[in-house]
Amino acid sequence: MTRIFVLLMTAVLALSACAAPPPPAPKLAADGKPLPRPYRISPGETREIRFRMLDSVNSLRAAAGARPLILDERLTAAAATHSRDMSVQERPWHFGSDGSSPLDRVRRVGYRGEFIGETISETYETELETLAAWMENDVTRRVILSRDARRMGFAWHQDPSGKIWWTMTLGA
């Protein structure tokens, strides 16, 4: 009887060692709140994300009485260049490391229409969370809802840390 009890306890201990460990506690920021979890973008999601952003922007524009935008590859190329450059500079701002302005960038890629504006962001959030933040700011909201805008470029660069550098460029 003792032998069976010892074998049974050994089996229970062995099985309990196989249990999954508890999930790690979330890492906290200086303010005591959990750090955001990075939104990871895979290379195969590019088209889906661009069109999700375009559809969302066009919904907001429709609600404001503005015409829908179409994606423009030249403006997207200018946006992609700037997203990568912001990552290299490690700061979100509208000037390139070579001193270029948003207007310079759209001209370099061959865009001949009128430049309307550029919105940028440095974040770990999704494109739709970023759009929501842009819409809360008067300046970026005016760019997105500009009645003169007809075309949109949209791109990003994601660092290995998960940080995303978003850029939207609008033109007429």
Residue 169 pLDDT grade (very low, low, confident, very high; cuts 50, 70, 90)? very high
Lowest mean pLDDT among 1-5, 124-128, 132-136, 155-159: 1-5
- Give SS3 for 167: strand
CB 125 within 8 A of CB 133: yes
User: Cβ neighbours of residue 43 under 8 Å, at least 6 residues apart?
Assistant: none
Q: Around Cβ 56, how many Cβ atoms within 10 Å?
A: 16
- For the record, the structure tokens of 48 come out as 């889906």
- For the record, the structure tokens of 152 come out as 């949109």
pLDDT digits (tens, 9 = 90+) for 27-47: 676 777 776 677 888 888 999
